[in-house]
Amino acid sequence: MKENEILLKEQLNDVVMKFVIYKPLVAKAAKAGQFVILRGREGGERVPVTLVDWDAHKGTITVIIQSIGKSTFMFNSLSQGDCFLNILGPLGTPVAIENYGATAVIGGGVGIAEVYPIAKALKAAGNKVISVLGARTKDLLILEPEMKAVSDMTISCTDDGSYGQKGMVTDALRGIVEAGEKINAGFVIGPIPMMKFTSKLMLELGIEPYASLNPIMLDGTGMCGGCRVTVEGKVRFACVDGPMFPARTIDFDELIRRTGEYKDKEKLAVSQCEKDHKCKLGLH
Ligand SMILES: Cc1cc2nc3c(=O)[nH]c(=O)nc-3n(C[C@H](O)[C@H](O)[C@H](O)COP(=O)(O)OP(=O)(O)OC[C@H]3O[C@@H](n4cnc5c(N)ncnc54)[C@H](O)[C@@H]3O)c2cc1C
Ligand code: FES
């Protein structure tokens, strides 16, 4: 086995792949809420992805990647036996796993993969874990069996009603609380508008909200300032101070603006990549 080697690749749906990678030192040190920065080739982009699972004994880490732009398309075209060039981590501050009592764990799209290690750690610490999983449609809903295994209750929702409850995660969360469940803390990961509205609803329902922020990251070590976000009116670096923050004072609108700043360049990079047919990090 080689360092950074893909030992297993599994397709979860058309755009999401799961990779089990040999990376013993990261597997030994990883904690819930942390991430790694991947690079596929020399000169390639540095891409932050969450540590979804790890096995210190086997020396493996698991990451789940959604193809969204040039680098993630390239990563997802790698095969079992291929290697990532670098894997830097574990990075970020682990989520404080305390005994909160009843907790809500909310994941949207690939955010379900990102919230899974938090649900698992909360459950292991003795919390009641109520999970709400959301996706646009049935095919995009991932890790339901894994989330059920670490949750006391799991509700899956799809926007189009093709699976589970029809509607948004916020509708499901409101329903759970209105049915009498008293929840103390809530952890949400997904698209930024979903985290914004879920956090707002949690405050309304008396749940202390936490959200994991995904600004553009470069070095991942607090040096470049690319990942700055505003929390409690102060500048914080998501890569070292987060990515999970208490959500009641996060400036979500600023985050939406800043993550959208490179949209044109990102589109151009994908169309150039498609034109060149370089879809395997130059390996094939
Ligand atoms: C802490 C953290 C954990 C993450 N975990 C996961 C995960 O487990 N699985 C997963 O699929 N995705 C995860 N992401 C998002 C992932 O990093 C981006 O989807 C990826 O960088 C997109 O790169 P691209 O070249 O394919 O797309 P691009 O076309 O370059 O960008 C598409 C979108 O991805 C975001 N993005 C682009 N570059 C970066 C960057 N350097 N850092 C952060 N976001 C960027 C932007 O919002 C952008 O609009 C995470 C992001 C952060 C910050
Ligand atoms: S990514 Fe550079 S400071 Fe956080």
* Six token digits for residue 35: 């991430």
Alpha-carbon span 180 to 174, nearest angstrom? 10
Question: What percent of the chain is modeled with pLDDT above 90?
Answer: 89
pLDDT band at 284 (very low <50, low <70, confident <90, very high): very low
- By residue count, the chain amounts to 284
* Number of continuous H segments (helices) and E segments (strands) in the chain: 9, 16
Q: Kindly list the domain boundaries of the chain, sorted by start residue.
A: 6-93, 102-259
- Tell me the average pLDDT across 4-24: 97
Which residue do the tokens 């208490």 mark? 246
Name every residue whose Cβ is closer than 8 Å to that of residue 68 and which is 6 or more positions away in sequence.
15
Inform me whether the pLDDT recorded for 283 exceeds 50.
Answer: no
The CB of 109 under 6 Å from ligand 1? The reply is: no
Q: How many CB atoms lie within 10 A of CB 147?
A: 24
**Ligand 1 mean position to 130 CA, how many Å?**
27
pLDDT digits (tens, 9 = 90+) for 192-232: 999 999 999 999 999 999 999 999 999 999 999 999 999 99
Q: What is the mean pLDDT of the chain?
A: 93
The CB of 158 under 6 Å from ligand 1? The reply is: no
Alpha-carbon span 186 to 202, nearest angstrom? 7
pLDDT at residue number 260: 76
The CB of 47 under 6 Å from ligand 1? The reply is: yes
* pTM of the entire predicted model: 0.93
Alpha-carbon span 254 to 260, nearest angstrom? 10
Gyration radius of the chain's alpha carbons: 18
Q: How many CB atoms lie within 10 A of CB 241?
A: 19
pLDDT at residue number 116: 98
pLDDT at residue number 281: 47
Q: Are 48 and 36 in contact (CB under 8 A)?
A: yes
CATH of segment(s) 6-93: 2.40.30.10
* Six token digits for residue 170: 């916020």
Question: What percent of the chain is modeled with pLDDT above 70?
Answer: 92
The CB of 88 under 6 Å from ligand 2? The reply is: no
- SS3 at position 103: strand
Q: Which ligand is nearest to the CA of 47?
A: 1
Choose the CATH number for 102-259 among 3.30.465.10, 3.40.50.80, 3.40.50.2300, 3.40.50.720. Answer: 3.40.50.80
User: Which of 217, 229, 261 has most ligand 1 atoms within 8 Å of its beta carbon, as the pocket-test mutant?
Assistant: 217
User: What angle is formed at CA 122 by the lines to CA 120 and CA 123, rounded to 5 degrees?
Assistant: 65
Amino acid identity, position 164: G
Q: What residue owns the CA closest to ligand 2's atom 3? A: 222
